[in-house]
Chain A
Amino acid sequence: MNKKTWELLPFWFPVSKVNQKWAIVFITLTIVSIDWWSWESSTRFADWIPIWIIYSIMIQFALAYSTWKFAKVFNPFIIERKFESREKEPELKEEETEENVKEPETEITDIAISTEEELVENDSKNTNITNIYISDSVINRSNIGEKNNKDE
């Protein structure tokens, strides 16, 4: 998915393939935790605690395990914005290409900084918004995980 495509997605939609897979895991756990099928159950374990409570605890431990695994690979795409006054408006606007804009990858390397700037129209009379994206080479690479080519 290139930048232009994923930017059209609603803000709550996970961008990368890895995050989409994890979203399915967490949504599934949330749905099965509701436990409709035994809603009227009053079966007890050792007389004192309902079985559905034990089930709920198990689901939560599965959630904790999933969160632990996800925490290892989660590498958020940090958007860094800079705002400048109109008089400091950049002279050139870089063309957006698929080559210079990529989705975040999950790879462990040291922090490297290079940015690409793009001018975004602003309805304010006094300011322009210049969004500076942290692309592949910019993303804080202190996070854990492997690069997934499918994400690009």
Chain B
Amino acid sequence: MSDLLTIGIILAIYLTISICIGLYGRSKEDNAEDYFVASRKINPWILFCTLAATNFSAFFFLGFAGASYRAGWGFYGIMAMGTSLVGLSILLLGIPIHKLGKEKGYITPPELIAGETNSKYLGWLYGAVLVIFTLPYLATQPMGAGILLETLSGGEIPYFTGASLLTCVMIIYLVLGGMKSSAMTDVFQGVLMFLILLIFVIGFFLHEEVGGFSDAGQSLWDNKPEKFVREGNFTWEIIFSYTLLWPITVPMFPQLFSRFYIAENDKAIRTAAWLYPTVVPILFLFPVIIGVYGNIVDFDHALSRTESDNILPLVLTEYAPLWAGAIVCIGAIAAFMSTADSQILAMSSIITKDGLPAITEIKEKKQKQVGRILIIILAIVGLTLAYDPPDTIFDIVSQAFTGLAVLFPTTVAVLYWKRVRANSCIISILVGETIVAWSYWSNKTGNVIPEWFTQGFHISTPVIFVTIIVLWISTEIEERLSNNASN
């Protein structure tokens, strides 16, 4: 049997199961609430699986391994603690968002922000930021799928063909099914990716050329001892920055935020909140181990920065038989698809419910249909962005995350602070995004962001700090001006 046929059969089985699950869980009622938030009836375990599978993406599978190949074990410090803290964010934000959503019928994040501040302008700004910064993150999903299939098939499945194929399958079950299909396929894809990753790591160390955990460790220590330490790879300021960034930015992903609405009750959110940090510490070890121990594999040439994102499929082609490699890649593809489908659905709902109504009236019955058309358009946009990716997966995602983190202070203030004013939120978001744009521009033009501004931390830390201060002070000023006027 040819290599291409083997990969094709395994891929076809996986994609067929995904479509069948998507069809089984499809939306049966003809209204936007059922299509976009699954009638708010998702139980705790499915909610946890869909939250985890949605968050663990191409970045988790390829980006982690690639960055760990370059920076060693220190990358675990960058990712793990911060991601465990996301459980706390799920609790603190998820419960009020869920309750307000259920009570007032909110379906999208901007709807809640606009509704609770009585400002459509804030809603539009919030929605625009969500869409703008989610698009590059969306593009990393077909990118990852294309890289995997191309590497695994030895170039027989070109990068863009692989990316297009998976995008098409995703469109099919999303258009037919909506949120319920997305959540059901997430459970299947999530379980699949975790099991496959676990088996792959164990299989790697048991391979006769690797010789077990201790031999592999000694071999790496003899050749590249710097991979075991943080010193020289990361400063504590950088690790601290990312530890803060993840719990702040992850709930701001529209695909995560929307999932707070779908819970059947707040108990589901409480359960997901503590399960999240329970699985992350072990789960995040897998891609990091693959990346770190990719350093003991002899490749034909030293891998470039972008090539290192391929470390997982490269290790597979080196050590695993083709059929086993194909199965591992299915796990990775499951990670991409479970994230991308949720991102597309969330952005589609934002544009349907918040963006388009500003231009033209969309009747309730037509919303589901409009949402479906937008799903196709957004999937094509993501694919187009992935056609010629400019940076590594980690670099693209890191920039997108900082842009989304700017929304966090506004969200917390709207949920917990009676005094918050829409204008103050708008000012804080605009100031934050201006700094993000400045840092992006500085990187592009080769300039360094001044040390006095970052103090050695990642740019996200001063951005978040400034955004909080601006929101706080502008609220005080606005309130006093308002009081003076009324007096």
Contacts and interface: CB of A to CB of B under 8 A. Distances in A.
Interface of A: 7, 10-12, 15, 26, 30, 33-36, 39-42, 44, 46-50, 52-53, 56-57, 59-61, 63-64, 67-68, 70-72, 74, 76-81, 83, 121-124, 127, 129, 131, 133, 140, 142-143
A68 B221 contact: no
B427 interface: no
Contact of B88 (A40, A67, A77): A67
Contacts of A133: 418
Nearest to A74: B91
B482 interface: yes
Interface stretch (B56-64, B122-130, B277-285): B277-285
A123 B217 contact: no
Interface stretch (B74-82, B149-157, B181-189, B303-311): B74-82
Contact of A10 (B230, B239, B270, B472): B472
Interface of B is mostly: helix
A11 B413 contact: yes
A30 B228 contact: no
Given A67-B277, A71-B274, A77 B416 contact: yes
Nearest to B288: A53
A18 to B, nearest CB: 13
B245 interface: no
21 contacts: A11-B419, A12-B468, A39-B231, A44-B217, A47-B214, A48-B213, A53-B76, A60-B280, A63-B84, A64-B274, A64-B277, A67-B277, A70-B88, A76-B415, A79-B416, A81-B117, A81-B118, A121-B485, A123-B423, A127-B118, A143-B266
A30 B85 contact: yes
A49 B91 contact: no
Contacts of A60: 80-81, 84, 277, 280-281
B223 to A, nearest CB: 14
7 nearest interchain CB pairs?
A: A48-B217, A11-B417, A47-B217, A68-B274, A64-B277, A60-B281, A83-B118
Interface stretch (B93-101, B357-365, B384-392): B93-101
A40 to B, nearest CB: 4
Interface string B206-231: 00000001101110110001001111
A71 B267 CA distance: 9
Nearest to A133: B418
B92 interface: yes
A2 to B, nearest CB: 14
Interface of B: 73, 76-77, 80-81, 84-85, 87-88, 91-92, 95-96, 99-100, 103, 116-118, 213-214, 216-218, 220-221, 225, 228-231, 236, 239-240, 243-244, 265-266, 270-271, 273-274, 276-278, 280-282, 285, 409, 412-413, 415-421, 423, 468, 471-472, 475, 478, 481-483, 485-486
Contacts of A122: 482
A116 B91 CA distance: 27
Contact of B412 (A11, A44, A127): A11
B281 A47 contact: no
Contact of B229 (A42, A57, A129): A42
B278 A64 contact: yes
Contacts of B265: 142
A33 B280 CA distance: 15
B230 A52 contact: yes
B225 A42 contact: yes
Given A33-B81, A81-B118, A83-B118, A44 B91 contact: no
